[in-house]
Each structure stands twice: as C-alpha cells, then as structure tokens.
C-alpha cells in the first residue's frame, strides 16, 4: 500500500472520482479522515491557545483600570472565543475516539503510552477550561472582578495545559523514548518504562514552543486584521487603535522569535528524523545539500512531482548541509534514496515547508513595518498597510497548518517513528465502506461547520461595526466596498 495519496487518480473524470472514493482502502480513508479532522480542529485549538493570553490581558486591564476600551475588546473577543471553543470541542472529541475506531492496532500497540497523557489532559486541563469558560461567558455580572479575571487566567491555563499533553503524545510519536517492546502471546506492545523520558522526549520542548508561538502569531494576525478593519471604519475608535498597536508589536516579537527558533528546530529534525529533513528539501541523493530559498514550478505539473524537479529555484549552495550539521557546509546529508523505507509524499512536504517559511518572513515584515508606523505615531492612518493586515488576517492559520503538515506528513511512513508504520496501525476490523462513509460525513459536516462559524463571526463583526458608528444605514450588509471612502490620505 503506497503511503502517498494518489492525487493523480482523482479528478480525471467524475466516474473515476466515484470509483476512487468507493475503493478507498480503510487505511487511506482513515488517514484522510484524521488529517481533515485535525486540519479543522487545529484551527480552533490554536484559536483557544492564542486568544486566551490576549483575553487575560484585556480582562486584567479592564478589571485593574476600569477602562471601557478593554471591556469592549474583552466583550468582542470573548464571544469569538466562546464559539471557537464549542467548535474546538465538537471537532476535537471525535479525534480521541478515532484512535480506537480507525487506528485500533495503533491503540493496542502503544495505548499505554498514549492513554495516560490523554487522560491527564482531560483531568488537568479540559475540565478546568470548560468550567472556567462557563464563568467567563456567563458570569460577568455574577462574580467579583477579581474572580472574573481569575477565570480568564484559568481558561488560559486550561488551554495551554491541554496543548501540553496533546503535544506530549504527538512528540512521543516523533521521537519515542521511555518504553520497551514486550511480546505477550504473539502480540507486541510498547510498555512504559520511564514516564519522564517518554513525556519529556527530545522533540517535546521544540514542538511545544514552536506550536504555541505559532498559535499566538496566528491569533495576533487575526486580531490585527480585525482591528485594522474597525480602525478603517472609525479612525477614532480608541479600543481598536489600542488593539492594533498591541497586535503589530506582538507580531514583530513573536514572528522574529519564531524564525530564530524554527532554524534551530530544523537542525533538531535533521538529527532525529533525517528522512523528514531530506523530504523538506526534496534531497534524494546523499551528499552536500543546497537550500532552496525560492522555488517556483516551471510548469503546473511540477507541483505534484514527488522529486520536485523542473523548478525554477533560488538556492544557496551547501546551505542545507550547513543547517543540518550546525555549521559545516560540506557535511553529507542523507538523501531519501538511501533510507530503507519508502519516502513520505515529498511534494506535499516540500511545498508546505516553503509556504510556511515564506509566510513567516512576510509576518516579520508586517510586524516590523507596523511597529515602525506605531513609533512614528501614524499607524491608524497607514491605509494601505491596514489593508494588507486585513488581507493577511487568515494567513497565520495557513502557516500553522502547513507547518503541521510538514511535521505529520513528513514522518510518513511511520505512525510512531521507527516503531510502527501507519499501515500497521489501522483497525483490522475496519471495512472500506465504513471508513469511506464516515470520511464523507466529516468532509461535508465540517465544511458546513466552517461556513456556520464564519457566518456567526460575520454577525459579530457587523454588530461591532454598527457600534463603531458606521453601518446603521439601510444597505449595511457588511461588505467593505459600500463603506464610504475615508478622506484620510494613504501612506
């Protein structure tokens, strides 16, 4: 069974498409289902992780200073957080159950290493977050200021602890430690031998820092984009000018940190998962490796070319060798051809990585320019820049997802690196029909969910725009074009 999703098999004709879906193997259907589910879930999980510290900041400021600006920001973003949390729960609960339904052999084999941390997540984090959120959403008039501020802190602690245990599980699958393989009655299972080594495995700190920071960046861009929209609606809005200033400065700091951290993280990946590093660079033959800064396909088919050839590239010779070895430009980098197991889908990993890194540099530029305008004191008047911020609002989530694809698709064919292959992890009882049926359900259902979420958010934005003093006209339907042009000069 090829680990690669047969993209070429889809799309020839409608009949072929039907045939392809009807004959999805349980493994392929389960992988697409899990991948799609986590794609949607991760958007909302990251929204919680990234938005929670921002909510703590505005809530604590509101309680401390009594400033209406912060109450306004708190009210708006708490509503978004509340809906996002329900979306995160609805999309997240199936994932834990999928370990049992779709990846039963995986659960049987390494369940001892996964079940514990997942139950810790629920006990330590999920309850805390769900209970505190009840207070945060419904308790503003019922509890003291101090208790209310505390509940925002507890929501954030819950969200961050939740991510802690989920990433403990995931990082263990990348760099498994602290276990031994025991064979009992013909079946081999992984048995926990050293919890500290297993939970704080080598990948964990890298992944946790990178992922949490990515979530903050994604939410910061979202806050910046929304604030830019409201500032353009009403330049005098103190609340949104405050949010805008805060967001661009946070964006600069976090995205610059992410670049530095990501560089070191890359070296760690080269050490621990050399085949993933080779896939990121589409490096096939062992030897010195160049770093492709920019890659553009010369014809569209090159995008799906697993060998990533026929590309127009701007490359730094030997730079990948330099990065992988931590300073030696002549270091040999093992090519994909030299691994005894099959390669991951290289094209997906190669392009996802490029998109993530490219977006990362764009975020640094946005943060730097915004911080500069902020220091000059005319950030709210920088009209073209505000438009760029609005256009960039969803891009943090795009970067976060592509980074996740590099991590997850890049480790194929392993489910647990060096221990269990993906093909070996699927439930033996699972039929093609069952798997395909639920996959279709998830695709249709989650698309509907995303649409509903966006409609609800549009309502929040419309209401807030009306409060900003513009939009109380008959034609107010939320489109930006109908907004009267401001007279303030562009930068």
Min CB(281)–other proteins separation in Å? 22
List the beta bridge partners of residue 420. Answer: 416
Helix axes 432-467, 68-101, angle to 10 degrees: 180
Q: How far is the CB of 410 from other proteins (least distance, A)?
A: 17
- Minimal distance, residue 111 CB to other proteins, in Å: 2
Q: Rounded to the nearest whole angstrom, what is the least distance from the CB of residue 49 to other proteins in the complex?
A: 17
121 binds other proteins (CB under 8 A): yes
Interaction mask 153-192, other proteins, x per CB under 8 A: ----------------------xxxxxxx------x-xxx
- Binding string to other proteins for residues 433 to 452, with x set by CB under 8 A, is what? -x--xx--x---x---x--x
Sequence-distant (6+) residues with CB within 8 A of 198 are 113, 172, 176, 177, 178, 179, 192
Residue whose CB is less far from other proteins, 327 or 418? 418
Stretch of 13-21, 208-216, 383-391, 414-422 contacting other proteins, by CB under 8 A? 414-422
CA–CA gap between residue 430 and residue 435 (Å, rounded): 7
Question: What are the distances in angstroms from CA 20 to CA 10, 12, 412?
Answer: 7, 10, 22
How many residues interact with other proteins (rule CB under 8 A)?
Answer: 87
| Bridge-based pairing state of the strands 414-416 and 311-316 | unpaired
Among 35, 36, 111, 145, binds other proteins (CB under 8 A): 111
Q: Which lies closer to other proteins via its Cβ, residue 19 or residue 93?
A: 93
- What residues from 19 to 38 belong to the interface with other proteins (CB under 8 A)? none
φ/ψ of residue 5, rounded to 5: -70, 125
Stretch that binds other proteins, among 106-114, 233-241, 364-372, 387-395 (CB under 8 A): 106-114
Q: How far is CA 68 from CA 62, 129, 242, 270, 408, in A?
A: 7, 26, 12, 50, 44
Member of 194, 263, 309, 332 binding other proteins (CB under 8 A): 194
State how far the Cα of 172 lies from the Cα of 411, in Å rounded to an integer.
12
Site for other proteins in 62-101 (CB under 8 A): 75, 78-79, 82-83, 85-87, 89-90, 93-94, 96-97, 99-101
Is the torsion defined by CA of 171, 176, 179, 180 positive or negative?
A: positive
| Nearest distance from C-beta of residue 237 to other proteins, angstroms | 19
Cβ proximity to other proteins, 112 vs 383, nearer residue: 112
Comparing CB distances to other proteins, the nearer of 369 and 414 is 414
What is the closest distance, in whole angstroms, from the C-beta atom of residue 434 to other proteins in the complex? 5
Our CB check for other proteins shows the closer of 123 and 376 to be 123
Non-local CB neighbours of 119 within 8 Å, separated by 6+ positions: none
In angstroms, what is the minimal distance from the CB of 327 to other proteins?
Answer: 25
| From 330, 459, 486, 491, residue interacting with other proteins (rule: CB under 8 A) | 459
CB of 194 to other proteins, least distance (A): 4
The reply on whether position 128 binds other proteins by CB under 8 A is yes
Contact with other proteins (CB under 8 A) among 36, 39, 57, 116: 116
Binding mask 288-327 for other proteins (x = CB under 8 A): ----------------------------------------
Closest Cα to residue 214, out of 330, 47, 379? 47
**Binding of other proteins by 344 (CB under 8 A):** no
Report CA-CA distances (Å) from 420 to 116, 137, 291, 378: 19, 43, 31, 56
- Is residue 189 within 8 Å of 108, Cβ to Cβ? yes
**CA 247 to CA 221: how far, in whole Å?**
7
Identity of the residue, 299 or 475, whose beta carbon is nearer to other proteins in the bound complex:
475
Q: Which stretch binds other proteins (CB under 8 A): 43-51, 105-113, 307-315, 327-335?
A: 105-113
Q: Which two tokens stand for residue 43?
A: 């958007």
Tell me the two tokens of residue 85: 């949390």
Check binding of 479 to other proteins (CB under 8 A). Answer: no
**Distance of closest approach, residue 181 Cβ to other proteins, in angstroms:** 5
Report the residue from 45, 223, 420, 461 that binds other proteins according to the rule CB under 8 A: 420
């Amino acid at each position: 069974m090829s680990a690669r999703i047969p993209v070429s098999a889809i799309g020839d004709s409608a009949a072929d498409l039907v045939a392809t879906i009807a004959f999805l193997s349980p493994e392929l259907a389960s992988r697409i289902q899990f991948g799609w589910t986590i794609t949607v879930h991760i958007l909302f999980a990251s929204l919680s992780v990234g938005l929670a510290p921002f909510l703590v900041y505005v809530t604590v400021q509101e309680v401390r200073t009594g400033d209406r600006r912060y109450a306004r920001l708190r009210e708006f973003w708490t509503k978004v957080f509340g809906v996002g949390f329900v979306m995160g729960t609805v999309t997240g609960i199936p994932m834990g159950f999928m370990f049992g339904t779709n990846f039963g052999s995986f659960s049987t084999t390494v369940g001892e290493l996964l079940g514990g941390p997942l139950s810790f997540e629920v006990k330590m984090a999920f309850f805390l977050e769900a209970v505190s959120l009840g207070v945060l959403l419904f308790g503003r008039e019922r509890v003291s200021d101090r208790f209310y501020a505390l509940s925002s802190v507890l929501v954030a602690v819950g969200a961050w602890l939740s991510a802690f245990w989920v990433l403990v599980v995931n990082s263990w699958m990348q760099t498994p430690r602290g276990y031994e393989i025991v064979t009992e009655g013909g079946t081999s299972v992984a048995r926990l031998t050293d919890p500290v080594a297993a939970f704080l495995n080598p990948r964990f700190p890298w992944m946790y820092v990178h992922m949490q920071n990515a979530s903050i960046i994604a939410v910061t861009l979202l806050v910046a984009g929304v604030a830019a929209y409201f500032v353009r609606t009403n330049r005098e809005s103190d609340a949104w000018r405050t949010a805008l200033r805060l967001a661009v400065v946070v964006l600069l700091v976090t995205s610059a940190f992410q670049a530095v951290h990501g560089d070191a993280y890359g070296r760690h990946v080269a050490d621990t998962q050399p085949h993933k590093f080779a896939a990121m660079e589409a490096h096939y033959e062992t030897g010195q490796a160049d770093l492709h800064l920019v890659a553009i396909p010369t014809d569209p088919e090159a995008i799906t070319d697993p060998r990533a050839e026929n590309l127009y590239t701007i490359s730094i010779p030997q730079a990948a060798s330099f990065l992988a070895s931590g300073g030696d430009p002549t270091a040999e980098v093992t090519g994909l051809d030299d691994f005894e197991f099959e390669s991951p889908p290289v094209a997906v990993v190669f392009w996802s990585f490029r998109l993530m890194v490219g977006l990362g540099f764009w975020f640094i530029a946005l943060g730097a320019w915004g911080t500069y305008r902020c220091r000059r004191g005319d950030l709210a008047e920088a009209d073209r820049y505000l438009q760029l911020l609005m256009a960039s609002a969803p891009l943090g989530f795009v970067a976060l997802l592509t980074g996740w694809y590099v991590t997850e698709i890049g480790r194929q064919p392993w489910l647990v690196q060096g221990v269990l292959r993906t093909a070996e992890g699927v439930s033996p009882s699972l039929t093609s029909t069952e798997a395909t049926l639920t996959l279709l359900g998830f695709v249709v259902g989650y698309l509907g969910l995303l649409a509903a979420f966006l409609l609800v958010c549009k309502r929040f934005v419309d209401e807030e725009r009306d409060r900003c003093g513009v939009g109380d006209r008959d034609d107010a339907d939320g489109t930006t074009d109908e907004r009267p042009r401001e007279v303030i000069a562009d930068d």
